[in-house]
Amino acid sequence: MTGLEDLARRREAEAKRIRALLDGGHENRMADLKIGETAVAFVKEELCIGCDQCPLVCDDDAIDMVQRPMRSPLIDMESNRKAVIRRDDCTGCGLCVLACPTDAISMIDR
Ligand code: SF4
Ligand code: SF4
């Protein structure tokens, strides 16, 4: 039978393994990202689920969350929030791309 200590050891090892995978993935993604003064973030609104992660990581306060009407008149929801980039304030750092769980943000030419 698995003891608690053994379980804790395995859980810690698994957490380290996942952290290393994520860190490696971020480095690879950062290497692929177009970042810097010539780039600006762009949100595909249909992929945005309004989770608030991108405004949290944006140091330049360049992302607004706005309410959008639902496309279908049959769906009556008060909240359909979407992220919108303020292009003039975006410094092209790319952090929001890494934070987005739905890959709704990409970096494009300014
Ligand atoms: S690229 Fe950087 S500055 Fe621009 S919106 Fe994303 S987090 Fe903010
Ligand atoms: S992190 Fe992605 S899904 Fe979440 S609000 Fe920003 S763009 Fe939308």
| Averaged pLDDT, 33-49 | 92
Contact 98, 85 (CB under 8 A): no
Structural domains for the chain: 4-109 (3.30.70.20)
State pLDDT tens for residues 75-105: 666 678 999 999 999 999 999 998 888 999 9
Mean pLDDT of the chain: 85
CA distance 66 to 82: 5
| Averaged pLDDT, 34-38 | 88
Biggest distance spanned by C-alpha atoms of the chain: 60
| pLDDT at res. 14 | 78
Residue with CA closest to ligand 1 atom 2 = 93
| Ligand 1 centroid, distance to 19 Cα (angstroms) | 23
| Averaged pLDDT, 1-12 | 80
| pLDDT at res. 9 | 86
Pocket of ligand 1 (CB under 6 A): 41, 57-58, 60, 62-63, 85, 90-96
pTM metric for this prediction: 0.75
- Mutating to test ligand 2, I would choose from 46, 47, 51 the residue with most ligand atoms within 8 A of its C-beta, which is 51
Torsion of Cα atoms, 63 then 86 then 24 then 10, to 10°: 10
Residue with CA closest to ligand 1 atom 8 = 58
